[in-house]
Structure 1
Amino acid sequence: MDRTRRKSSIYHDVCKDIDIKILRILVSIDDQITKNLRDGKVVTRPSSTNGLWSCFLLPAVLVLYSILYNVSELYVLLAYVSIGLVSYSLLFIVFLSVSCLILEENIYGGCTASSLVSALLLYAVQGQDLMFSLIWSTIAVMSYSSLLRIALTVYPKTFTIGEAMIVTQSIVLFGITAVNKYFYNIGEEEDMEMKFINDVILTILSAVAIIVAALCILDETQKTMSVFYYIISVAGTYVLMMLHVKVGVDCIVRLAEYVLLDVDRLKLFLFWLSCVLVSASVVLVRTHLNVKASTVTRKTFHILGSLVFLSGILYNIRLMTLAAGFGFGLIIVVEALRKSGIEPISSALQAAFNVYSDEKDVGSFAMTPIYLYVGLACPLILVPVHPGYELELLSGVLSIGVGDTAASWFGSKFGVNKWGDGPKTYEGTAFNILSQVAVIYAIEIFGLLSVNNAMTRVAIAAAVSGVVEAKIDQVDNLILPLVTLIAFQTTYAFC
């Protein structure tokens, strides 16, 4: 018995020693990268760490779903391409820990190697054509490499390295999705309603891209309201032409009928509109008073956003998807206008930003509200349809709309015992977890959700996201929904 105990103790000490050594190596790499960035005069968003581990989150979600469930051909393609992006991310981290030269010019050898990783998976595992696999893998990795460099060098103080990796991975993967759905129709067979929704969303977002590109190339003499009206008219004409081709001659009538002629959809739409009007009114009043918003005050927008997405996911997921596409396009246009220098729009938007910005909004763009919206909406894109998927669609609502908001409020009011040297408290984390469980319990009581073992799955996911929220220094709105999705996937057996 004593010999067994000694062996167990030795084994425990060895494992602990290995864990400490690995942690020291990771910290050393992170510190070296920070030094190299400073030497190269590259300024990332102020943070105690670079968040290098974040590069695994989005690919992990895609790969796990493609393994656990029967997903579409396009979803598998995205999962394999994301593995190539992770491969390049790891090479990027290694190169950056040696020198910051990788930020000055592309390392094409690393791009080629990473492209081959995803190309081989697409060709050998998914059975895609070799040329198709090579083309898409190369485009994805090369685009990711360029966008990552641009995000870190052109837009100082906007991203940490981990946040830049997630954002650029998302842009690349969404671009592949849009092109394949819009032009090649690769993916699962869709019914007419879903095809209509996807066509409208992709058309709107491509029009937004036109508006943003036009605003970016304006010189100082062209930054006038008349030019802006011209840009809007061109984008509107483009939307009408594309919808005419993709949807039909009666595209506007069909869209209006879809939203307004169904009583349940109309009620939902009016509720969302009221939430938007309340938000706009609060922003206008507080901007007029020029009173800086506190962290707890900013969390009210988490609540309003969560009400919109919670009601949409519970009552009409497809209408919520359509509205989320419109909303994302709108928030991008608003941010582009804030930075455009077109008066009086830019100054009005900048005044609102000055009131509601927090310590993380020190870079080129107002990323926190964009992250909030994307965090709430991303499960609608990432979660494939399967039994019980409605619960997973609530990942953003639960983690940042409910849990993060509850932790912020309760921790600031009643928090005493802190996690290490950080501002987060044990009390806030406990309330974070309990609030998520309580929301799902209330939803089940009212019969709005029927998912096997929902309480158990939420308790596990909430515990994971709650601890992560307390320990990380990356932007919660971006990280927590992905962490919660991964945590839900670990509860696959409970489905």
Structure 2
Amino acid sequence: MEINPVLVESSVVMAMVLCVHMAVWNQHSWCAIALVIQAFYVQHKWDRLLRSGGAVFQFRPTANSGIVPASMVMPLLGLVLKEKCSAVGNVYFERFFMVVTVTGMMLALFLSLIALGVTRPVPTNTCVIAGMAGTAILYTTKQTLTVSEVIEVLEVLLIFVYLCLIVLYLLPRCFTPGEALLIVGGISFIVNQLIKRSLSLSEAKGDPVNYFLPVVVVGSLLLGVFFALLFCFMESETWVSSLFFHMMTAVLALGILMPWLALFIGRHPIMWLFDFVTLNDKRLCLLGYWLLLACVATCVVLHQNYQRQSGSKKHQASTMVRKYFHLIVVATYVPGLLYDRELLHVASVGCLAVFLVLEYVRYFRIRPMGQLLRQLLTLFLDERDSGPLILTHVYLLLGMSLPIWLFPAACAPKGIFPGAGGLVPYAGVLAVGVGDTVASVFGSTMGEFRWPGTKKTMEGTATSVFAQIIAVAMFLIFDGSINLNSTYSWIVSSITLVAMLEAYTSQIDNLFLPLYLFILLLL
């Protein structure tokens, strides 16, 4: 009997939800169980819409809808982070992460309503289940959130609706419904928080480092939407349009984003960044080392393109070559995690900005580098790059960086959590840099026994788990701040669950795997 991989993927996510529920055990964790059950039923409606072509927008064609894994990421993140902040008595962030939990649930319910609204005939049973889950979540929201917090949730939902319309219209076939929920939902929350803090600067809290990410995300979003709309009415490949692109990018960065960021940090951002980077010799050495690795990555791209030009026109980068970049990223992030996480945080945000601007240059064919970037990156395309954007490298950066960006330093005594929580900043390195790389390489070269219903192999999954355990042992040796106590069995269980998700999911694993490992390690 053939096993449906979607059922196994949903079962793995359900197991993770139950783990969180057993650790948290409150009203919101019960709502999370109701949410994952209704998402399971709604996912089949979304999959049917995608197969029949009944969806309003064009989604990525080589994957299922991904509603179950995507619906649970934000609620589970909010649940576990709320518990950590509650344990140390940080009321401000406890309430903040409660809002994150409810916001994630509302976004997932909204996406469910979209599917149920366009499905014909109306799925009565699924509507009843979704209605019961929605009623439970709304009742819990009424009991636990204040009026201002409910308004904040509604603001995020409104931003999400408008951004979805814009992003899915401008970028067809780039996302599955689940990926759109996770990415656009996260951006919507960031946009709302940045607007909220801009309107109440006196109440803004947190380290100046933490303001770089939201400003970069919002600035990149504004830049992309502006030029996407502009180039609908004019040719983007001319020198005049290219010059206008470069001028407007400089105006946005220097005339809007820099003053905006200065309001938060109280200094000119460039001067603050110079002082931050030159604080000690260690930071300068790390920057030099990272620059060297960037040159190595560039040489790999150029070498592979030279081979394509000198050989067959059909030459494509192999799995082994693609994983070179995973190894380079691991070599980039591990020293930063060991020696200076603040610098790594800022550098990764800067790298995200560079990646997004270069992707705009490639997508719009901005001179002089647009066409060159198209030729260089075409070699590394795979079935997941079916839309107009090439996002593989951006997803890799996000997967490695999200555990660092999301780490709640204000709720961590001495900057680190005890037990398995000490590995939380390493979740991206473990899940993507080590686990996904080893699974792909060993699975494609030596794998013989495939998991039922997928192309992934049991050998790849087993070696992935084993490699991550070895990596944990290495981190214990080199990072003296980690104290796992008696949580070894839970770490192995968490790694195994995430490895099973990697074997069966058709979503962007670089995004989902680090986030789920992040959640499990916080329990």
The answer to whether the superposition gives a TM-score over 0.5 is: yes
For residue 375 of structure 1, the aligned residue among 399, 406, 423 is 399
Q: How does 1:171-210 map to 2 (within 5 A)?
A: 171-184=187-200, 189-190=205-206, 194-195=207-208, 197-210=209-222
Q: Against the structure 1 CA distance between its residues 347 and 266, is the aligned structure 2 distance closer, same or farther, given a 3 Å change threshold?
A: same
Amino acid at match of 2:196: N
Amino acid at match of 2:99: L
Cα distance per residue 1:340-361 (max 9 Å; x no partner):
1322321111112211111111
Q: Does 1:276 align with 2:307?
A: no
For residue 93 of structure 1, the aligned residue among 109, 115, 127 is 115
2:335 maps to 311
Q: How does 1:370-409 map to 2 (within 5 A)?
A: 370-385=394-409, 386=412, 387-388=417-418, 389-409=421-441
Q: Does 1:469 align with 2:502?
A: yes
2:271 maps to 253
Q: How does 1:22-101 map to 2 (within 5 A)?
A: 29-36=45-52, 38-39=53-54, 42-53=57-68, 54-70=70-86, 72=93, 73-98=95-120
Q: Does 1:262 align with 2:277?
A: no
Q: CA offset at residue 245 of structure 1?
A: 4.2
Amino acid at match of 2:246: Y
Q: Against the structure 1 CA distance between its residues 205 and 25, is the aligned structure 2 distance closer, same or farther, given a 3 Å change threshold?
A: closer
Q: CA offset at residue 211 of structure 1?
A: 3.3
For residue 251 of structure 2, the aligned residue among 231, 234, 245 is 234
1:105 maps to none
Contact 1:204 1:329 in 2 (8 A): yes
Matches of 2:496 and 2:216 in 1, distance apart? 38
Q: Against the structure 1 CA distance between its residues 180 and 250, is the aligned structure 2 distance closer, same or farther, given a 3 Å change threshold?
A: closer
Q: CA offset at residue 487 of structure 1?
A: 2.4
- Higher Cα Rg: structure 1 or 2? 1
Contact 2:197 2:204 in 1 (8 A): no
Contact 2:108 2:181 in 1 (8 A): no
Cα distance per residue 1:98-129 (max 9 Å; x no partner):
479xxxxxxxxx9xx979967x7666424x3x
The normalised TM-score by structure 2 is: 0.77
Amino acid at match of 1:360: R
Matches of 1:425 and 1:205 in 2, distance apart? 37
CA RMSD in angstroms, aligned pairs only: 3.2
Matches of 2:496 and 2:202 in 1, distance apart? 37
2:183 maps to 167
Contact 1:419 1:470 in 2 (8 A): yes
Matches of 1:88 and 1:415 in 2, distance apart? 41
Matches of 1:267 and 1:22 in 2, distance apart? 51
Amino acid at match of 1:283: V
Contact 1:275 1:308 in 2 (8 A): yes
Matches of 1:198 and 1:488 in 2, distance apart? 22
For residue 155 of structure 1, the aligned residue among 159, 171, 183 is 171
Sequence identity (%): 23
Contact 1:443 1:449 in 2 (8 A): no
Give the aligned length: 450
Contact 1:182 1:199 in 2 (8 A): no
Q: CA offset at residue 47 of structure 1?
A: 2.9
1:333 maps to 357
Q: CA offset at residue 40 of structure 1?
A: 5.1
Unaligned runs of 5+ in 1: 1-20, 101-109
In structure 2, the residue corresponding to 1:394 is in which secondary structure? Answer: helix
Q: Against the structure 1 CA distance between its residues 24 and 57, is the aligned structure 2 distance closer, same or farther, given a 3 Å change threshold?
A: closer
Q: CA offset at residue 367 of structure 1?
A: 2.4
Amino acid at match of 2:378: N
In structure 2, the residue corresponding to 1:69 is in which secondary structure? Answer: helix
Q: How does 1:447-486 map to 2 (within 5 A)?
A: 447-453=479-485, 455-486=488-519
Unaligned runs of 5+ in 2: 1-36, 123-129, 309-314
2:26 maps to none
Matches of 2:502 and 2:136 in 1, distance apart? 35
1:11 maps to none
